[in-house]
Each structure stands twice: as C-alpha cells, then as structure tokens.
C-alpha cells in the first residue's frame, strides 16, 4: 500500500503579474501590469511512496523541493495532477508556524494540535509527553513570545512528532535546538521509522539523507530526474549539479601559465571510475600543459567531504617530490593507495603553483566529486591502522 | 447553494479548531488591557450617548435612547466582522502557508468570536435597556425571544461579509480601504442612530430612498431587534424589506462561494 502517491503533479507560478491583478485599479482597467510570465516550479512529477519508507528529496536551491512538500502537506494546491496521502499527516514545514505569540505554551499546544486535527482528549493524554520532550515544564505557562528561538522550535517539533502521525513531512528542520536536542530529534525520527511510519523529507544535508533514507528523489528544475538508492542518487546530484555544471562551492582561478587538462580518476584496474572502495587504490591522472618553461613547479591536492569538511591536503613540496621543471604537455599521477577514506561522498581539489607560492598557475577547488564505499563494516571517517593484542 | 452546506460540515468536523481559534481571538483582544472585555460594552454605550446628544443638537429632535443603544450594539457587531474580514486571511499568512487546514475556519472563527462578544455584551445591554424602560414605566416586549433569531440572522449575514472581504483582500489590498469607506457610508444608510420614524419625513419626499433603506439587510435586522425588545417600536415591513431580509442569506451564499472558489490560491498570493 502506498502512503503517498503523486500523479502528474504540477504547480505553476507567475514570475511576474501574479495570479490576479496586484491592485483593484489594474483589475478594473483590465491591465494586470507587466505581461504574465508563467513558470512551472514542478511539472509532470510522478512517484509513489509505500507505507513505512523514508524518502529524502534532494536538489539544488529553487528546484521545487519545498513546493513538493507543500503540495503533499496540502498547504498549496496543484495546478495539474494530484497527490494523495493515506493516513494522518503531520508536517514539520515550519516549526511553531501555528503558534500565537500572546498565548502561553500550554494554550499553543492545544491550538496547534487542533490545527493538525487532533481531538482535545488525545492532546490531554499526550500533553505531559509533549512538554517533557520539549523540556519546557517550567515555562509552559509563559506566553511564547518570551520563549527563546530554541524553546519555540522545540515545542513545535515536540507537538508535530508526539501527535503520532502516519506520515511525517520534514523540511530541513532536523537541526533544531542544541546538540542534545538534535540527538533527541534524530532518535525520535529513527523511532518513527521503526514503528513503520512514512517519512518524506527535504534536506541539503546529503549525509543525513544518506543515513536516514531508504530512497532518494532528485529534483531539478521542477522535474524528477532521478530516484533510487540514496548513495546512488546523491552521487548523481553531486556529479551533475556540483561538478561539471558549475556547482555550489566549485571555484577555479590562476594565471593559467600552466593548465590542467582532462583529469581522470582511475581505480586499481586503471579504469575511469566514480566509486572507490575503502582500502582499495585511487589514482588521479593529471594531464597538464605549461605554456612557458616553469622551474620547480608544485602540484598539490586536497580532499573534502560533501559537507565541506577538510579531510586531507598535501603537495609535492611537502612530500619532497621535486619536479625540476615543466614545459609543454605532460602528465602527473597521484596515487592514494590504500585509500583510507570511509563511506561517503568527497571532492578532490587540485592546484599548481610556483615553488615560492608567489604565482598560482591553476587551481580547481572542489572540482572532482567521487564516492567511497566501505565494505569492511568499520565505522567513522578514516581508516586508521589498528591492531589488537591480548594477554591472558 | 452547496457551499454553505459544506460550511456546516467543516464547522462540525473542525469544531475544536474553531473554538480554539475563536478563544485565541477573544483572549488576545483583551489580554494586556486593564478594562478588557468592558471595552466591548463601553465603546457602544459611549457612542450611543454621543449620537443621542448630537442628533438632538443637529436635527432638533430625538430618538429614544433605547433604540440608539440597540442600533449601536448591532452596528458594532457588523463593523467588527467586516474589519475582521480584512485581516482574517492576511493576518494568518504564516498559518495559511505552512499548515494544512480548512481555510473556511478563518472567517468562521472571527465571526464566532465576534458573535460571542456580541452575546456577552447583551449582559450589559439588557440591564441598561431594562433600566431605561423601567424609568419610562415600561418593560421588555413579550416578543423578546425573537431577539435571538435576529442575532442568528445577523451572524449569518456577517459571515458572508467576512468571507467576501477576506477573500477579496487577499487579491486586492485595496479592499481594506474600500471597506472603511463603505462602512462610513453604510452607517448613515442604516437606522443606527435614528429609527424609521425619524426617516419617515425623508421617505415622504423620496419614496425610492425609503425602499433603498428597507432593502438594507441591517435595517431589517436592527428593526427586528427593536421590535423584539421595545414595546413601542414597530417598524413597517414593506415589500422592499423582503429584499433586505433575503439579502442576508444571499450574502452568505455569495461570500462562501467566492471564498471557496479562491481559497486554494491563498497560499500562493500571500
């Protein structure tokens, strides 16, 4: 059975002109200002999510992710097609959206639950759990306008999850409150999954999607471009929208006295590849062209995770691998063997500069994405050399 | 015709939300003010005294205080609902955009809050009227239970206005200004500070103006209130009054049909 079913879902907005005229004058004179310019923020989207699955929606900013969630929640209505949801739905589109600042936390709990369609009797039974989860016992009778932003979202999250929905929609709000509350939130989400509830969630945190979701949907320009295994879809996302197409933090600069050619990532067998294994080999083949003779050039590389965490970086100078000079075309090879990175998505950056760091010839930051799969079962970020011994 | 029927279903299914939002409205209205609820009755009572005074001063003849009080309280109910209409959707933009619930609840809860306020104000209005009648050696008319029929009738009319204004204001922000203007004109075209006797001289001059006055739903409603409570107040019921009477349900139907027709785009417009 499907919890969520979207058929030919489409939502049209107008870039200019709006749905109606912006003023009564415009309406009366038949002039609606500038010519209406429609654009589809979502179109022709079809998918179904079986009960009990957790599905993550990823895509660049403005691709239509939040609209998809809004349509599913029913806060906005499709221009064409439809989306059907089975069971009670609760959404974390914006925590505490229904709160009224003048009312106390207690009153807001009942108001918010009523908005979600929860009978008052049920709320009374769950009230203590809601308050305890939000850790707001002593502040519950204070008007929420005096709440800190953390208290505000904690209460909002607590209500949304404690009302026990069948389908939970989450929009980028798992990172609420302080660290300990974030852990509680993620724990509650896992609990949801265990109890066979359906989750649809939008996130820019690719790690979170990979960790929590059974399946990922990739949305771009309002179209569903890929769906499937989260790791697979995330890689596609990184390759298409962060890699070659001018992505989010990709940068390139330098005097171009020497330039990188078509850099390839090769596996142990010497074949171009995008997915590597922990403990295996990764060779980077770096063709270059030097437009003039350059003495003692330095080649460097660095690795970052998809979240931008700097994992490792070094260069030929640090490693005392002297290259006397470059002139014309040539190839440099960088071997990472064994590859000590663990499961996840990474970015490779390369640079070429003068020995005294005065001139940067060519630098490509976060240019080459690749993925690592870890068959060993060990956890964490890096594979460390570790040995055990025991004495009786 | 279907729209008001659906409305009743929404009212029934989401009655808890309706009560919650109406309670929220009433609480926030009086929270933080010293006199609180008293303002709901003080304002119309003061207005009644002011009208009485200036009417005597300007027109040279008066209208019984009891009739003005009834008129002002009734007028206040409709004004509050019309004004609530301008804010009921716009003021809840965050709710409309982020939470899925039947949007008819917004005008409904506003009208419910105002209707409760109106009924509570009777706790002051009735004793004041009883006192004024007692001083004139009179008492409430036997038809006083009819008063509550007219409360219901006015509530229905007000709901139509609130829904209509609420939907229109999402599309045209001009609506709130137009509402202010229309209310000022409407005030003088309704027997709030005068009664039908007072207007009869005018009616003798221009019979169509009298018809127009009767075709105003508020005329029929205020006349109804007065006839129900005051033994001496008997307004006629000419054919034009039927128009005024039936305009109330017609307004409700038009208001809810328009509101439902456009509510799906509210979130896009805010």
- Are the beta carbons of B135 and B58 closer than 8 angstroms? no
Residue B266 vs residues A17, A82, A166, A201: alpha-carbon distances, Å: 16, 18, 27, 24
Q: At what angle do helices B196-205 and B207-214 cross, to 10 degrees?
A: 140
Residue A344 vs residues A61, A281, B126: alpha-carbon distances, Å: 22, 16, 75
Please state whether the predicted TM-score (pTM) of the whole model is above 0.90: no
Q: In chain A, what residues touch B17 (CB-CB under 8 Å)?
A: 114-115, 117
DSSP label at residue A240: I
Q: Does the distance separating the beta carbons of A114 and B28 come in below 8 Å?
A: no
Tokens read off for A62: 């403005």
Contact status of B12 with chain A (Cβ, < 8 Å): no
Nearest Cα of chain B lies from the Cα of A261 at a distance, in angstroms, of: 48
Nearest Cα of chain B lies from the Cα of A98 at a distance, in angstroms, of: 5
Q: Does the distance separating the beta carbons of B269 and A24 come in below 8 Å?
A: no
Contact status of A23 with chain B (Cβ, < 8 Å): yes
Superfamily per CATH, domain A2-242? P-loop containing nucleotide triphosphate hydrolases (3.40.50.300)
Residue A281 CA to residue A272 CA, distance in Å, equals 12
* B270 located within any domain: no
A325-360 in b/e burial notation, b at 16+ Cβ within 10 A? ebeeeeebebebeebbbbbbbbbbbbbbbbeeeeee
Contact status of B113 with chain A (Cβ, < 8 Å): no
Residue A89 vs residues A51, A68, A262, B231: alpha-carbon distances, Å: 12, 15, 49, 57
CB atoms within 10 A of CB B87: 15
Among the partner-chain residues A24, A70, A76, the one whose CB lies closest to the CB of B172 is A24
Q: In chain A, what residues touch B31 (CB-CB under 8 Å)?
A: 102
CB atoms within 10 A of CB A74: 17
The mean pLDDT of B234-239, rounded to a whole number, is: 79
Contact status of A142 with chain B (Cβ, < 8 Å): no
Among the partner-chain residues A13, A75, A102, the one whose CB lies closest to the CB of B98 is A75
Residue A313 CA to residue A23 CA, distance in Å, equals 58
Residue A69 CA to residue A41 CA, distance in Å, equals 12
Q: In chain A, what residues touch B267 (CB-CB under 8 Å)?
A: 70, 75-77
Q: Does the distance separating the beta carbons of A111 and B267 come in below 8 Å?
A: no
Domain A251-373, CATH number (from 3.40.1190.20, 3.90.1010.10, 3.30.110.30, 2.70.50.60): 2.70.50.60
3-class secondary-structure state, position B116: helix
Q: Does the distance separating the beta carbons of B173 and A115 come in below 8 Å?
A: no
* B56 located within any domain: yes
> Where residue B86 falls among pLDDT bands split at 50, 70, 90?
very high
Contact status of B165 with chain A (Cβ, < 8 Å): no
Q: What pLDDT was estimated at residue B253?
A: 93
**In this model, does residue B204 exceed pLDDT 80?**
no
Phi/psi at A301 (nearest 5 deg)? -145, 160
- What is the DSSP secondary-structure string of B63-94? --HHHHHHHHHHHHHHHHHHHHHHHHTGGGHH
- Identify the burial level of B45 via C-beta atoms within 10 angstroms of its C-beta, where 0-12 means exposed, 13-18 middle and 19 or more buried: middle
Tokens read off for B29: 């209205």
Among the partner-chain residues A23, A27, A98, the one whose CB lies closest to the CB of B99 is A98
Contact status of A248 with chain B (Cβ, < 8 Å): no
Residue B232 CA to residue B242 CA, distance in Å, equals 22
Q: In chain B, what residues touch A103 (CB-CB under 8 Å)?
A: 24, 27-28
Q: Is the peptide bond before A338 cis (omega within 30 degrees of 0)?
A: yes
Contact status of A153 with chain B (Cβ, < 8 Å): no
Query: Which of B12, B21, B96, B100 has the most A C-beta neighbours within 10 Å, making it the best mutation to test the interface with A?
Result: B100
Q: Is A64 left (phi over 0), alpha (psi -120 to 50) or beta?
A: left
By C-alpha distance, which of A56, A371, A58 is closest to A214?
Answer: A56
Contact status of B175 with chain A (Cβ, < 8 Å): yes
Query: What tens digit of pLDDT does each residue of B17-33 get?
Result: 899 889 888 887 877 77
Q: In chain B, what residues touch A20 (CB-CB under 8 Å)?
A: 171-172, 269
* B133 located within any domain: yes
* B135 located within any domain: yes
Residue A163 CA to residue A88 CA, distance in Å, equals 10
Among the partner-chain residues A19, A107, A114, the one whose CB lies closest to the CB of B265 is A19
Q: Does the distance separating the beta carbons of B94 and A114 come in below 8 Å?
A: no
Residue A60 CA to residue B134 CA, distance in Å, equals 76
Q: Is A80 left (phi over 0), alpha (psi -120 to 50) or beta?
A: beta
- Are the beta carbons of A274 and A370 closer than 8 angstroms? yes
A301-318 in b/e burial notation, b at 16+ Cβ within 10 A? bbbbbbeeeeeeeebbbe
Q: Does the distance separating the beta carbons of A115 and B17 come in below 8 Å?
A: yes
Among the partner-chain residues A19, A93, A100, the one whose CB lies closest to the CB of B269 is A19
Residue A151 CA to residue A259 CA, distance in Å, equals 53
By C-alpha distance, which of A364, A354, A247, A383 is closest to A301?
Answer: A364
Q: In chain A, what residues touch B268 (CB-CB under 8 Å)?
A: 13, 19, 76
By C-alpha distance, which of A13, A10, A12, A90 is closest to A45?
Answer: A10
Q: Is A344 left (phi over 0), alpha (psi -120 to 50) or beta?
A: left
Among the partner-chain residues B17, B98, B172, the one whose CB lies closest to the CB of A27 is B172
How many interchain CB pairs under 8 A, A with B? 85
| Range of the structural domain that residue B245 is part of | 2-265
Number of domains in chain B: 1
- Are the beta carbons of A176 and A92 closer than 8 angstroms? no
Q: Does the distance separating the beta carbons of A110 and B101 come in below 8 Å?
A: no
Nearest Cα of chain A lies from the Cα of B37 at a distance, in angstroms, of: 17
Nearest Cα of chain A lies from the Cα of B240 at a distance, in angstroms, of: 31
Taking CA B96 as the corner, what is the angle to CA B263 and CA A55, rounded to the nearest 5 degrees?
105
Q: Nearest chain A Cα to B20, which residue? A: A111
Contact status of B174 with chain A (Cβ, < 8 Å): yes
Q: Does the distance separating the beta carbons of A119 and B28 come in below 8 Å?
A: no
Q: Which residues contact B57 (CB under 8 A, 6 or more apart)?
A: none
- Are the beta carbons of A37 and A55 closer than 8 angstroms? no
Residue B204 CA to residue B210 CA, distance in Å, equals 8
Among the partner-chain residues B16, B27, B98, the one whose CB lies closest to the CB of A119 is B16
Q: Does the distance separating the beta carbons of B171 and A20 come in below 8 Å?
A: yes
Q: Domain-by-domain residue ranges, chain A?
A: 2-242, 251-373
**In this model, does residue B213 exceed pLDDT 50?**
yes
Residue A86 CA to residue A196 CA, distance in Å, equals 14
Contact status of B98 with chain A (Cβ, < 8 Å): yes
Phi/psi at A22 (nearest 5 deg)? -75, -20
**In this model, does residue B103 exceed pLDDT 70?**
yes
**In this model, does residue B172 exceed pLDDT 80?**
yes
Among the partner-chain residues B24, B32, B174, the one whose CB lies closest to the CB of A100 is B24
Q: What pLDDT was estimated at residue A201?
A: 85
Residues in chain A, pLDDT under 50: 21, 244-247
Taking CA A262 as the corner, what is the angle to CA A259 and CA A266, rounded to the nearest 5 degrees?
130
Q: What pLDDT was estimated at residue B27?
A: 82
Q: What pLDDT was estimated at residue A33?
A: 54
Q: Does the distance separating the beta carbons of B171 and A93 come in below 8 Å?
A: no
A282: part of which helix (H) or strand (E)? strand A282-295
């Amino acid at each position: 059975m499907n919890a969520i079913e979207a058929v030919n879902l489409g939502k049209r907005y107008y870039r200019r002109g709006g749905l109606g005229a912006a003023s009564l004058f415009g309406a009366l004179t038949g002039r609606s200002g500038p010519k209406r310019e429609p654009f589809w923020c979502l179109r022709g989207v079809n998918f179904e999510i079986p009960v009990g699955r957790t599905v993550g929606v990823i895509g660049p900013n403005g691709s239509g992710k939040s609209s998809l969630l809004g349509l599913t929640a029913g806060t906005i209505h499709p221009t064409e097609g439809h989306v059907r949801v089975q069971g009670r739905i609760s959404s974390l589109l914006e925590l505490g959206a229904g709160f009224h600042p003048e009312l106390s936390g207690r009153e807001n709990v009942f108001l918010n639950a009523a908005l979600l369609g929860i009978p008052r009797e049920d709320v009374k039974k769950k009230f203590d759990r809601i308050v305890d989860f939000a850790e707001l016992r002593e502040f519950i009778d204070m008007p929420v306008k005096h709440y800190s932003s953390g208290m505000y979202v904690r209460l909002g999250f607590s209500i949304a999850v404690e009302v026990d929905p069948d389908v939970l929609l989450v929009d980028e709000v798992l990172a609420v409150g302080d660290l300990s509350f974030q852990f509680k939130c993620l724990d509650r989400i896992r609990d949801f999954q265990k109890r066979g509830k359906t989750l649809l969630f939008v996130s820019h945190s690719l790690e979170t999607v990979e960790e929590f979701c059974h399946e990922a949907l990739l949305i771009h320009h309002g179209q569903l471009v890929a769906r499937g295994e989260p790791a697979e879809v995330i890689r596609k996302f990184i390759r298409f929208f962060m890699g070659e197409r001018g992505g989010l933090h990709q940068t390139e600069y330098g005097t171009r006295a020497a330039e990188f050619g078509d850099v390839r990532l090769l596996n142990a067998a010497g074949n171009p590849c995008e997915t590597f294994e922990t403990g295996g080999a990764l060779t980077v083949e770096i063709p270059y062209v030097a437009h003039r003779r350059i003495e003692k050039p330095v080649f460097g590389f660095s690795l970052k995770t998809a979240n931008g965490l700097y994992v490792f970086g070094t260069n030929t100078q640090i490693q005392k691998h002297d290259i006397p000079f470059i002139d014309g075309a040539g190839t440099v090879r960088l071997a990472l063997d064994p590859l000590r990175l663990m499961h996840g998505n990474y970015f490779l950056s390369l640079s070429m500069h003068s020995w005294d760091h005065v001139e940067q010839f060519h630098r490509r930051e976060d240019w080459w994405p690749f993925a690592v799969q870890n068959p060993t079962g060990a956890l964490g970020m890096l594979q460390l050399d570790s040995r055990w011994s025991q004495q009786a | 015709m279907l729209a008001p029927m659906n409305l009743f279903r929404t009212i029934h299914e989401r009655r808890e939300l309706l009560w919650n939002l109406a309670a929220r409205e009433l609480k926030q209205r009086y929270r933080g003010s010293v006199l609180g609820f008293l303002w709901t009755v003080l304002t119309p009572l003061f207005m009644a005294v002011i009208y009485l005074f200036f009417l005597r001063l300007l027109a040279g003849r008066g209208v019984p205080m009891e009739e003005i009080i009834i008129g002002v309280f009734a007028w206040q109910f409709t004004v509050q609902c019309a004004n609530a209409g301008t804010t009921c959707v716009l003021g809840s933009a965050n709710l409309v955009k982020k939470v899925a619930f039947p949007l008819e609840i917004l005008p409904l809860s506003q009208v419910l809050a105002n209707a409760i306020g109106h009924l509570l104000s009777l706790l002051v209005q009735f004793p004041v009227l009883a006192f004024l009648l007692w001083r004139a050696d009179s008492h409430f008319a036997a038809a006083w239970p009819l008063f509550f029929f007219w409360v219901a009738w006015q509530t229905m009319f007000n709901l139509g206005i609130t829904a209509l204004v609420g939907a229109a204001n999402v599309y045209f922000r001009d609506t709130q200004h137009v509402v202010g203007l229309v209310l000022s004109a409407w005030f003088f075209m309704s027997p709030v500070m005068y009664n039908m006797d007072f207007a009869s001289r005018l009616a003798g001059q221009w019979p169509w103006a009298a018809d127009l006055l009767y075709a105003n739903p508020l005329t029929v409603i205020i006349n109804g209130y007065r006839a129900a409570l005051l033994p001496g107040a008997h307004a006629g019921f000419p054919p034009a009054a039927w128009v005024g009477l039936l305009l109330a349900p017609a307004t409700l139907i038009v208001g809810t049909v328009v509101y439902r027709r456009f509510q799906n785009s509210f979130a896009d417009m805010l």
